[in-house]
Structure 1
Amino acid sequence: MTLTGNLLDLPTELVLAVFHCLEIVDVLNLRLCCRRLNELSKERVVWVDILRRQQETLPKAQFSAFFSKEEYHSDEFAFQHAPVASLEHIATTMHRVSVAWALPRIVAAGRIERRDNANFLGIDIFLDRWLLVVYAEGKMDIFDLLDTGSPAPVPRETLVVEDTAWGSYSASLGETGRSLFVAVAEVSPNLFLEVYEIEFAEASTSQSDISVSFFNRVRRLPLDSPKLLRAISPSLSLVAFSGASVVELINWNSVGEDTLERASIKPAYVDDPEFLWNGIVALRFVGPYLIAKTRSLELHHYGTTEDRPPPFKHYFEHKTFREVTFSYPRLVEQTESQKTLEFTMLGSDVIQGLFQFLVKIQVPIANPTPDDTYRHVPQDSMHPQMEIDLIGVYPMSLAIAPPSSSASSSRVGRSSGVDTPTPVTSHNPFLHGFGPFGHKSPASVSRGFLSTFCIGPEGKRAIWVERARSSIGREVQVWDHNMRATSNRILENWAEHLGPNCVEIEKKVILKVSSYDLRGECDDITHCAFGEGLGTIVLGTRSGNMHVLPVLQP
């Protein structure tokens, strides 16, 4: 007997259940069939379900643009109160970006010319929209990347501090996500710390109406010596500086210069020969801790002033990272006794390549404060644990030194006194570049290097710029979290050396540029930033120009 039926004969609840099983493209196609399916495809439950599924693999959508500070509470609030048309727009945009993220891009009209011979300190993108550019000559620009009024973005707001030079900076969103805090270290003519707040105006349902207010200088404090500014925490009102082996913290909300709260973290490395050459390259506030160092990953409670070993220290065996970048820490689990925070770390070893780690920190909550900021939690009552898992490698031309049997993934509670030997690597490409550690590309034959790289705030996308030695070409490459699922490079010898969870980071080239002269129009790319949700990439060059690479329509 042949069973026949019509989808339209089903009750509404069952039709919506069918939508639940469809991908976003199928939902959009199905709505073209008839008026009833068109109407059902616009139900809130359909697009909330699609957005929930997208958040499992794609960067999180920014819902706060549709609500004021008082109205917006959480994503769940947005699911229930945002216009359905807005939810559909966000979901379709995220899908389009995911499809086009790894497709080739072009350098067209999105070129931002160098301003007043200024030199970059750095560039960052916040909320997938606001491009922050900090210059060494005491200048800051805020660009709106969603402004379509001109071929190339123009500064929305500009700060100029005359006759001043900045040596370093750090920027972070405020707790509400409605303001941006930027700390700069002045190195000439005097030594000062300056903290600025940039507030985003109240949003409306029309994104073109959103603006930024002027640069509000929150604090200007004297420094006793030149310092390298590494991190800022608006919620704690703390900035972190680093020296050769010391981390100095300054609370910019402390009253008066004479009573300025300063704290120095001077770890005591007893019988540790690596102390002499294990320098600090990055700091990140994670819960009540600072994460620091290059040959190791360490946790230091920011309230600690005594010389003592760090509560946790993990060595990266046979690796020397010149630069590392972190995603934002996110809360993955919380109980009455502890919180589990997770983030992704991307580190560049000049010789071996790019390494990606997944880091989980379990923070016991002892005598938590009402605002849950850990401000008054005693160090002795905090016994953290940390899991570090190597999940990806982008190998360059040389051999990757295999770690010890337990180094690829670790879970430790207290400091380990195990010494790490000085790195030793071969100068012959592993398996001549044609094995699981080779790319079968010019970089496998001639030693290449990365000129700049960064990972997104959620750790689901990353970009880097590779240049082969003795070559005029540069490749802009991208990575996506979903590429791991399709990788076929998980071979037996790879897992044996680098761990069962480690895969080769695939090479997805989206742009190739060449220049015979590093001072030329397509000169050396030294800075990069991108919006993880909308996929817009900004490249900064040595000459001070910037190129904006939006996602092209697939």
Structure 2
Amino acid sequence: MHLLSLPNEVILELFKYLNTSDILSLRQTCTHVAGISKDKLIWSNLIQQLRTRVPLPANVLTTLEEWSSDALESLVISAELVDQLWLEPRDSPPVKLQNKRGELLFGVEIFLDRWILAVYLDGYINLWDAESFVDKENHGRWSSVYTGNDKTTSYQAVVDDAGGRLLVVITRAHLPGTWVAALYEIQLSDPPLNLHFTLLCTFPISSSRIAQQIHPRERMIALSQLSSVELARWSEESETDITSVLISNMESDALEEMFTTILSLRILSDKYVFVFKTRSIELYPLPEATTHRRHNIVNEHSSRPLLKHVFPSYNFRDVQISDVEIEVSNKDGSSEPIFEGTRYKLKILASDIIQGLFFFIVTISIPLTQGEIATLDVNLAAVYALANHIPLRPSARRRSQLPRKSSSSRTESPMANESYRFQLFSGPATPTSPRTSSFVSAYALGTQGMRAVWIERRRGTTEKEIITCRLNAPRLTSPGLSILDSDLDSSSSNGDHGDDGLGVLPQALDGQVVYSSISYDLREDITHCALGEVSGKIILGNRSGDIFVLETGV
């Protein structure tokens, strides 16, 4: 039977089994097939297939009905092209952004793959619109604000749920013993209008408070000091009305606070606070809302952590957390024992400066029925090891080169077995050194936790390498097990590698060098980076405060 003689509904079903390149190739055969290939259903199905392995714009799944067929087709082609080029070397060098104010760079961020924010210790905040770049000398829309000559001690920034405004909070050491937090708002307009920083409120805070998160929907700012969390809620009506509540762990002691501190946190809905510390993960219930108080009067709330996971072997100094994924499940009349409640999923990339980068997938399950036990599942999925004592599951490429233990042989060579175990458990470090000569100077995790980038330096050289990697969830279907490795492990049940313990090992995090540069000028050292996960944009900041953009070329 000829293809053209089939009903259009049947041809549409056949298109579900084709990938993008096949569909575009078939489109060139005749006008009839070309017309069918533009059906919105085809590209909607491809979007659903891509969502688990390729970062997509945050609003595409919730507003899928509003997208036209041409827009979905363009999105699919662009997403797959960026994914193909993500691990490829960049042809063009990074482009330096102009018009910046400030010298001492404190941090750099990118939001919605478009808005580039740079915060400087000497009181300046800069914002660029990456979509308004004209050429290397004119970068279109740009704005900055001077926050004063007080020393900036921390900052956090976030785009609200609608994507229409950017909120930035900074903490400053105003005078010896006097600390202040200032909240700014920038309206992100499209079509282009002038960007402008608006000061929403300023309020005093306790000394050494560090800004950790802004929750726009709850009008809440989370700050931390050592092992305590302060939640400050601002008012839209008055700049002086601030509600504050302090969450402290009643089980902590002074000795513990000497070697542990809060690195990052996330407010989960309006019920829990997820806290990542130097050597542990903790979950606290969110206190009830308090009445507005002036002059920052703080209500203290002491409690034990609802859930806790301890890292006895790590000493993390920095951590990046993806956006929180929330899943609400119920039985819907089913008699099967299905979990009923709310699940929070977070993807975390944590840095131990001695041991390397660690990628965790954390799942928090809160049952709907009171009395049932909440659970905290922490899965170490992948590691970029800088020390050779960390047991790792080799990547598919490395494992194909490892000596296999034959299930038919009852005697094994001790030398061969020792060689196998050394290759299996060793990281990139050399056998004669406890760690590599490399160190990570900066790193960034995408907001969806699917891609990451880090800057690597080697001691004794001036070369700086920009390394990218994928962190796709389907490749980490079980602890340390990727889809590529699953075929190699399929014979484990038959005795092949049955006693290696591979199923519990994290996967080696394989990165690819996409750009490198050599410079003897210490001011050109890359100290900060950020990642536009959907477009593949890599934002770089050096010691002299300059900001660069490295594109994929799409």
- Shorter-chain TM-score tier: 0.7 to 0.9
In the alignment, is residue 526 of structure 1 matched against residue 511 of structure 2?
no
1:97 aligns to what SS in structure 2?
A: helix
In the alignment, is residue 151 of structure 1 matched against residue 147 of structure 2?
no
1:55 counterpart residue number: 51
State how far apart, in whole Å, the 2-side matches of 1:147 and 1:259 are. Answer: 38
Contact 2:541–2:547 (CA under 8 A) maintained in structure 1: yes
1:462 counterpart residue number: 452
Question: Mean Cα displacement is larger for which, 328-337 or 84-93?
Answer: 328-337
2:361 counterpart residue number: 358
Question: Mean Cα displacement is larger for which, 234-243 or 148-157?
Answer: 148-157
State how far apart, in whole Å, the 2-side matches of 1:258 and 1:537 are. Answer: 39
2:40 counterpart residue number: 44
Contact 2:153–2:172 (CA under 8 A) maintained in structure 1: yes
Q: Which runs of 5+ in 2 are unaligned?
A: 289-299, 332-339, 393-418, 477-481
Question: Mean Cα displacement is larger for which, 145-154 or 501-510?
Answer: 145-154
Q: How far did residue 147 of structure 1 move? A: 2.3
Indicate how the Cα distance of structure 1 residues 53 and 168 shifts in structure 2: closer, same or farther if over 3 A, else same.
same
Q: State which of 27, 30, 33 in structure 1 corresponds to 2:29.
A: 33
Indicate how the Cα distance of structure 1 residues 383 and 247 shifts in structure 2: closer, same or farther if over 3 A, else same.
farther
Q: State which of 84, 92, 112 in structure 1 corresponds to 2:97.
A: 112
Q: How far did residue 228 of structure 1 move? A: 1.6
State how far apart, in whole Å, the 2-side matches of 1:196 and 1:381 are. Answer: 42
Which amino acid counterpart does residue 122 of structure 1 have in structure 2? Answer: G
Q: Deviations over 1:221-252 (max 9, x none)?
A: 12243422122111221112221222222112
Structure 1 residues 79-478: aligned runs within 5 Å = 79-106=64-91, 108=93, 110-112=95-97, 115-151=100-136, 153-188=139-174, 191-201=179-189, 203=190, 209-211=191-193, 213-253=195-235, 260-269=242-251, 274-287=256-269, 288-292=271-275, 293-303=277-287, 305-335=300-330, 338-364=341-367, 384-400=374-390, 434-439=423-428, 446-478=436-468
Which amino acid counterpart does residue 440 of structure 2 have in structure 1? Answer: L
Which amino acid counterpart does residue 232 of structure 2 have in structure 1? Answer: I
Contact 1:172–1:182 (CA under 8 A) maintained in structure 2: yes
Which amino acid counterpart does residue 388 of structure 1 have in structure 2? Answer: V
Indicate how the Cα distance of structure 1 residues 264 and 271 shifts in structure 2: closer, same or farther if over 3 A, else same.
closer
Question: Mean Cα displacement is larger for which, 388-397 or 490-499?
Answer: 490-499
State how far apart, in whole Å, the 2-side matches of 1:85 and 1:49 are. Answer: 14
2:448 aligns to what SS in structure 1?
A: coil
1:181 aligns to what SS in structure 2?
A: strand
Contact 2:387–2:429 (CA under 8 A) maintained in structure 1: no
Indicate how the Cα distance of structure 1 residues 473 and 114 shifts in structure 2: closer, same or farther if over 3 A, else same.
farther
Q: How far did residue 503 of structure 1 move? A: 1.0
Indicate how the Cα distance of structure 1 residues 512 and 180 shifts in structure 2: closer, same or farther if over 3 A, else same.
same
1:283 aligns to what SS in structure 2?
A: strand
1:122 aligns to what SS in structure 2?
A: strand
2:334 counterpart residue number: none
1:141 aligns to what SS in structure 2?
A: strand
Q: Which runs of 5+ in 1 are unaligned?
A: 65-74, 204-208, 367-379, 403-429
Contact 2:532–2:538 (CA under 8 A) maintained in structure 1: yes
Q: How far did residue 279 of structure 1 move? A: 1.8
State how far apart, in whole Å, the 2-side matches of 1:512 and 1:178 are. Answer: 36
1:266 aligns to what SS in structure 2?
A: strand
Contact 2:391–2:427 (CA under 8 A) maintained in structure 1: no
State how far apart, in whole Å, the 2-side matches of 1:263 and 1:494 are. Answer: 53
Contact 1:141–1:155 (CA under 8 A) maintained in structure 2: no
2:538 counterpart residue number: 537
Which amino acid counterpart does residue 318 of structure 1 have in structure 2? Answer: S
Which amino acid counterpart does residue 504 of structure 2 have in structure 1? Answer: P
Indicate how the Cα distance of structure 1 residues 383 and 221 shifts in structure 2: closer, same or farther if over 3 A, else same.
farther
1:104 aligns to what SS in structure 2?
A: coil
Q: How far did residue 481 of structure 1 move? A: 3.0
Q: Deviations over 1:32-55 (max 9, x none)?
A: 111111111111111111111111
Contact 2:202–2:239 (CA under 8 A) maintained in structure 1: no
State how far apart, in whole Å, the 1-side matches of 2:258 and 2:365 are. Answer: 29
Q: How far did residue 538 of structure 1 move? A: 0.7
Contact 1:436–1:494 (CA under 8 A) maintained in structure 2: no
Q: State which of 508, 511, 514 in structure 2 corresponds to 1:507.
A: 511
1:166 aligns to what SS in structure 2?
A: strand
Which amino acid counterpart does residue 199 of structure 1 have in structure 2? Answer: Q
Q: Deviations over 1:507-531 (max 9, x none)?
A: 2111112222312xxx221111111
Contact 1:109–1:151 (CA under 8 A) maintained in structure 2: no
Indicate how the Cα distance of structure 1 residues 141 and 309 shifts in structure 2: closer, same or farther if over 3 A, else same.
same
Q: How far did residue 266 of structure 1 move? A: 1.6
Which amino acid counterpart does residue 291 of structure 1 have in structure 2? Answer: F
Which amino acid counterpart does residue 104 of structure 2 have in structure 1? Answer: N
Q: How far did residue 468 of structure 1 move? A: 2.0
Contact 1:298–1:314 (CA under 8 A) maintained in structure 2: yes
2:80 aligns to what SS in structure 1?
A: helix
Contact 2:349–2:445 (CA under 8 A) maintained in structure 1: yes
State how far apart, in whole Å, the 2-side matches of 1:270 and 1:141 are. Answer: 39
Q: How far did residue 137 of structure 1 move? A: 2.3
Which amino acid counterpart does residue 302 of structure 1 have in structure 2? Answer: L
2:415 counterpart residue number: none
Indicate how the Cα distance of structure 1 residues 273 and 440 shifts in structure 2: closer, same or farther if over 3 A, else same.
closer
State how far apart, in whole Å, the 1-side matches of 2:123 and 2:206 are. Answer: 20
Contact 2:109–2:118 (CA under 8 A) maintained in structure 1: yes
Which amino acid counterpart does residue 18 of structure 1 have in structure 2? Answer: L
State how far apart, in whole Å, the 2-side matches of 1:495 and 1:549 are. Answer: 45
Which amino acid counterpart does residue 297 of structure 1 have in structure 2? Answer: I
